[in-house]
Chains A and B, each alone.
Chain A
Amino acid sequence: EAGVAQSPRYKIIEKRQSVAFWCNPISGHATLYWYQQILGQGPKLLIQFQNNGVVDDSQLPKDRFSAERLKGVDSTLKIQPAKLEDSAVYLCASTFGSNEQYFGPGTRLTVT
């Protein structure tokens, strides 16, 4: 069974630029999560989808971050414009009706 796929693995941008991350969850997993992991901290949930609907986006900085999950499969997370404090690893995870989440390898973003 293929795992959660993410791309790109690394991205370096300048502040005020925009960036997008892509996630393909495990086939059949209805729930998809985006987490932000700042160096030295645990992952923090940004947004949770159930199929193509948003379940929880209370921690998403909506003035600059957006996410979508068209057709209830792949998802894209965008940052526009980026700030220095957005430097982090962005993790995508998916699950099928349980607490056990399966994580992708993450995208490491560096904002200079």
Chain B
Amino acid sequence: GDSVTQMEGPVTLSEEAFLTINCTYTATGYPSLFWYVQYPGEGLQLLLKATKADDKGSNKGFEATYRKETTSFHLEKGSVQVSDSAVYFCALPDSGGSNYKLTFGKGTLLTVNP
């Protein structure tokens, strides 16, 4: 079945450091891909998405490029801030199509220190 593998955390960085969180997937066809973020005590929020191969999703300084050759959707940010401290989840929808069911990775906890 469809699956998502995320880089194990936790990740601890200093402010203004470069961030990469790896995500690879296994799926039938070429599904949309998502990154969700969960701030402490809150629900998940969609951070960015890409709907087809070679698309780049971007939001709040974060970027991720849909690479079908490597079945990857790595999340990057050039200069992290303390406010970026959160758990990040990579996700893809069920290949069945119409159900819009999401499969999530295990999440990567990011802590940014001032």
Contacts and interface: CB of A to CB of B under 8 A. Distances in A.
For chain B, the bracket of interface size reads: 20 to 34
Contacts, number: 56
Interface in A21-66: 31, 33, 40-45, 48, 55-56
Contact of A40 (B102, B104, B106): B106
A82 interface: no
B89 interface: yes
Interface in B34-88: 34, 36, 41-46, 49
Contacts of B104: 42-44
A4 interface: yes
Interface string B90-105: 0101000001111011
Given A31-B100, A55-B99, A104-B43, A99 B106 contact: no
A21 to B, nearest CB: 13
Given A91-B44, A106-B43, A48 B106 contact: no
